[in-house]
Structure 1
Amino acid sequence: MVPRFVRDPLEALVGFADEAGGGVVRLNLGTFRPYLVTHPEHLQHVLKDNAANYVRDGKGLLWRPVRRAVGEAILVVEGPLWESSRGVLQPLFTAKRVETMVDGMAAAIGEAVDVLDEPARAGRAVDASDALARIVCQATMRVLFGDKIAVPDALRVVSALGTIATAMVPRLLVPFMPYAIPMPGDRAFRGAVRTIDDVVLPIIREARERPGDDQDIVSTLCRSRVVDGQEISERQIRDDVVAMFSTSTETTIAVLSWLWPVLQTYPEVSARLQDEVDQVVGDGPVQRSHLAELRYTRMVLDELLRLYPAGWMIPRTAVEGETLGGTQITSGATILVSPYVTQRMAAYWDDPDIFDPERFAPTAPRRQFRYSYFPFGGGPHQCLGQHLFLLEAPLIIATLLSRFRIQLRGKADLAPRMGASLRPRNTAQLELTPVDRSRTR
């Protein structure tokens, strides 16, 4: 198993799952022997029905390196601290609340896309990751962070988080390695954490000195609260701010980074998507009323989330031993749960490696299992930002495609780069041709 896993961890995990037909697999990776859980019914048990027995352990496979970046954040802790942070943040991310942000998001996205006019008219290619990061940061900083983090500073944080995601990989592959032993990526990791602190801590200190009623993430987290008899600390606020920054930006940037190589690879999908945007949006700005009509756009997004979920791995630690799918799980064992793996299994998806938005058409047969598709996780720890993504992402796609005809420079590369989130191995260079609006009237 070890050579196969080291050569291509993602392909190996899907292969192990397919060979087991959805059964629980004990992986023999040397001194590390986790259980791979992929059957939707078993996933529901782990993530929802018996979630209290399968916890996010800060010493475990993924959470240990993540914890070095976000500390005791909502993403990694359990118990009263998680309940307190989730309790104050969840109202900001409800479907109803996010709906109220649509107009502000659409305006911010439009302003960010305006910046692309100059390179487009000059015939210069743009880096897809850089462009997406700027668009997402401008929208997110406005509607979720109340512009408390300036866009240039937000881009510094995005870059630092990207460095962290890459620098984590060696530690992910050998999770048993003590941190006292230096590994590739450690120095870059520490530098990225310092960059994040340089941006975030002064903003938190100012918000705590001047408390108010603003309904943004920073203000909400900085309000006085007590957890286990202790006043919330600056460090805890910092950890939650960084976690929420990552949650609210990384999923959109990561998932949409796959759009361009996918459209190049599947021209029929590209043509249908472009036709829908032309018909729905026309020559005007993208508006709230357009979202309900962008049906194929939503199908494309759902398929992107199936094949390329940003949160590709959701590890858990078993508190107590139990039998799952006929396999005895030992107390303290690591459980590997992966949307990437289950959503690519032939047992649950026809031609799983093919990009086919029709799987998510309104007329498509209903899926047999709820947890055959879970790109945002499930149970009590389901991603807070899912409603934001499902509104923000189609606004970004529609705005870009209504303003430009977009071609990938060079060959499409759909090979993934493994990290804390999943992105293409090579960033796309985009050639933008401005739409002649007079011809669309």
Structure 2
Amino acid sequence: MSVAAGAVATTPRVLPFYRAIPRLMKDPVTELAKIATEAGGQVVQLGLGPFRPYLVTHPDHVQRVLKTDWTKFVREGMFWRPLRRVTGQSILGEGEGWESSRKILQPLFTARYTASLGEDMADIIADSISELDEHARTGRLVDGGYQMTTIVNQAVIKVLFGGRISRDIAERLAPEFATCATSIAFRLLFPFVSYSIKVPGDRAFLAAAQKIDEIVYPLIDQARAEKSTRNEVVSALIEARMAQGGEAGARQVRDDLVSIYGAASETTAMSLTWLWSVLHDHPDVHARLLEEIDEVVGEGPVRPAHVPKLVYLRRVLQELLRVYPSAWIIPRQAVADTDIGGVRIKAGSQVLVSPYATHRLADFWDRPLEFDPERWATENTERRHRYSFIPFGAGPHVCLGQHLFYVEAPLVIANLLRRYRVELTNPQRLTPVPGASVRPKEKLMLKLVPRARD
């Protein structure tokens, strides 16, 4: 039974330790969503021993935390500590550091600026995908997750670093970020565990973070020495930092770059990885996508001008972000006594917004567990609660990479489906793995078959 956002509630639902821990240990992403749906969107307090965070999923409550009263719910606390060990103090932080980074980075990731990068991105993506021709010719299978990450990484690296980074270095960067994103799972599930105690994932995380620094810092030094004004982010960052306060601090530029790299690459790569399982399970969607791409693109290469015309592809991407949002939790810490939906929240309390859970609430989504791109037809979206769909977060901290996603992802999909018939060879139930983003635990092995030209 659901509870309306404005209903009076003096205490939250409480999931005690003996029930919460077994469920969250088994499959934390899926179980957290089930806990939310069982509560009908009501605030739930999770009993995790000494740690008792509040799970917030009702769109009205999400709006309160991320938008209306966002200054009362900050990105601080134990949930952020694992991530900050690699991202530092930048766009993912709070206070002056966040304001400074946001002011510099936001103009670089507007829809207009991102569109200006489209032609270069289209060329990079097309070249990357053409390298798969040998796999298609020989029938050798490809690891879908690895290939999607590789393709996206090459495009994002071009946007961020221009021509400063070689291909072999770029290919070293992506797996280190993937290691950081996945190896913090234990810390996210048990954030109260002291860092003096080594837990699973710590060693891999620290090694990967060090390798990221070994790659990024030399690039920053090179860019500072060149004093270039190239049309890429590292030059723009250094120029803006110097204009703000003289000599650009290498650590601050490093934090900015690492944070925006994650924002620009992670959502796209993970969404594209989930896509192949979805298309296998929904051949009608697959067929309609092929039909639209063939009609819009024709025989020539896929260009940015085609993207706005790929209307059905846009709906597929929206539904993909609903069912498999990259962010499974958006942690916040209350900095003042307040309330959410009538539930008193004390200062210092941890609040967990969960896009993965909110996107599955039956009060706001008809058949929430079904993949249905048609729910994104214009006539079906007009009365939807604005905060029932939050794949990129919301409010002042909304992800800067969202505009890049809607250029890059369609280019990747259209190029792949225009060139190959993509077949998933090992269909199975996929398990979402918690971390900095949600990715499938299982590998998706793809067979690429060249498509005959008409």
Partners in 1 of 2:156 and 2:54 — Cα distance? 37
Unaligned runs of 5+ in 2: 1-19
Aligned to 1:34: 53
SS in 2 for 1:275: helix
Partners in 2 of 1:216 and 1:344 — Cα distance? 38
Aligned to 1:65: 82
Aligned to 1:380: 396
Aligned to 1:9: 28
Partners in 2 of 1:95 and 1:350 — Cα distance? 30
> What's the offset of the Cα at 1:419?
1.4
**Which residue identity does 2:263 align to in structure 1?**
T
> What's the offset of the Cα at 1:429?
1.1
Partners in 1 of 2:407 and 2:83 — Cα distance? 27
Say whether 1:162 aligns with 2:178.
yes
**Which residue identity does 2:81 align to in structure 1?**
R
Aligned to 2:408: 392
Partners in 2 of 1:293 and 1:284 — Cα distance? 15
> What's the offset of the Cα at 1:231?
5.5
Residues 41-440 of structure 1: matches in 2 within 5 Å? 41-57=60-76, 59-61=77-79, 63-75=80-92, 77-223=93-239, 225=241, 232-437=248-453, 440=454
> What's the offset of the Cα at 1:154?
2.1
Partners in 2 of 1:289 and 1:220 — Cα distance? 26
When residues 230 and 326 of structure 1 are mapped into structure 2, their CA distance, relative to the original with a 3 A threshold, is: farther
- Which TM-score applies when normalising by structure 1? 0.95
SS in 1 for 2:330: coil
SS in 2 for 1:72: coil
Superimposed CA distance per residue, residues 72-106 of structure 1 (whole angstroms, 9 cap, x where no aligned partner):
1321x211111111111111111111111111111
> What's the offset of the Cα at 1:345?
1.4
Partners in 1 of 2:107 and 2:240 — Cα distance? 17
> What's the offset of the Cα at 1:229?
7.3
> What's the offset of the Cα at 1:194?
1.4
Does the 8 Å CA contact 1:133/1:155 hold for their aligned counterparts?
Answer: no
**Larger displacement relative to structure 2 (376-385 or 410-419):** 410-419
> What's the offset of the Cα at 1:224?
6.1
**Root-mean-square deviation (CA), in Å?**
1.7
> What's the offset of the Cα at 1:65?
0.4
Does the 8 Å CA contact 1:43/1:371 hold for their aligned counterparts?
Answer: yes
> What's the offset of the Cα at 1:227?
11
SS in 1 for 2:66: helix
Partners in 2 of 1:322 and 1:168 — Cα distance? 30
Does the 8 Å CA contact 1:127/1:429 hold for their aligned counterparts?
Answer: yes
SS in 2 for 1:258: helix
Does the 8 Å CA contact 1:377/1:383 hold for their aligned counterparts?
Answer: yes
> What's the offset of the Cα at 1:392?
0.8
**Which residue identity does 2:207 align to in structure 1?**
G
Partners in 2 of 1:408 and 1:182 — Cα distance? 38
Partners in 2 of 1:132 and 1:237 — Cα distance? 27
> What's the offset of the Cα at 1:119?
1.2
When residues 143 and 340 of structure 1 are mapped into structure 2, their CA distance, relative to the original with a 3 A threshold, is: same
> What's the offset of the Cα at 1:346?
1.4
Q: How many residue pairs were aligned?
A: 435
Does the 8 Å CA contact 2:29/2:328 hold for their aligned counterparts?
Answer: no
When residues 356 and 105 of structure 1 are mapped into structure 2, their CA distance, relative to the original with a 3 A threshold, is: same
Unaligned runs of 5+ in 1: none
SS in 2 for 1:315: strand
Superimposed CA distance per residue, residues 317-370 of structure 1 (whole angstroms, 9 cap, x where no aligned partner):
001011221100110100000111100111211111111111111232424310
Does the 8 Å CA contact 1:213/1:219 hold for their aligned counterparts?
Answer: yes
How many percent of aligned residue pairs carry the same amino acid? 49
**Which residue identity does 1:8 align to in structure 2?**
D
SS in 2 for 1:60: coil
Superimposed CA distance per residue, residues 26-54 of structure 1 (whole angstroms, 9 cap, x where no aligned partner):
11121110111111111111101111111
When residues 52 and 230 of structure 1 are mapped into structure 2, their CA distance, relative to the original with a 3 A threshold, is: farther
Partners in 2 of 1:51 and 1:18 — Cα distance? 24
Partners in 2 of 1:83 and 1:220 — Cα distance? 17
> What's the offset of the Cα at 1:64?
0.8
SS in 1 for 2:161: coil
When residues 227 and 284 of structure 1 are mapped into structure 2, their CA distance, relative to the original with a 3 A threshold, is: closer
> What's the offset of the Cα at 1:171?
0.9
Partners in 2 of 1:292 and 1:227 — Cα distance? 36
**Which residue identity does 1:4 align to in structure 2?**
R
When residues 85 and 46 of structure 1 are mapped into structure 2, their CA distance, relative to the original with a 3 A threshold, is: same
SS in 1 for 2:380: coil
- Which TM-score applies when normalising by structure 2? 0.92
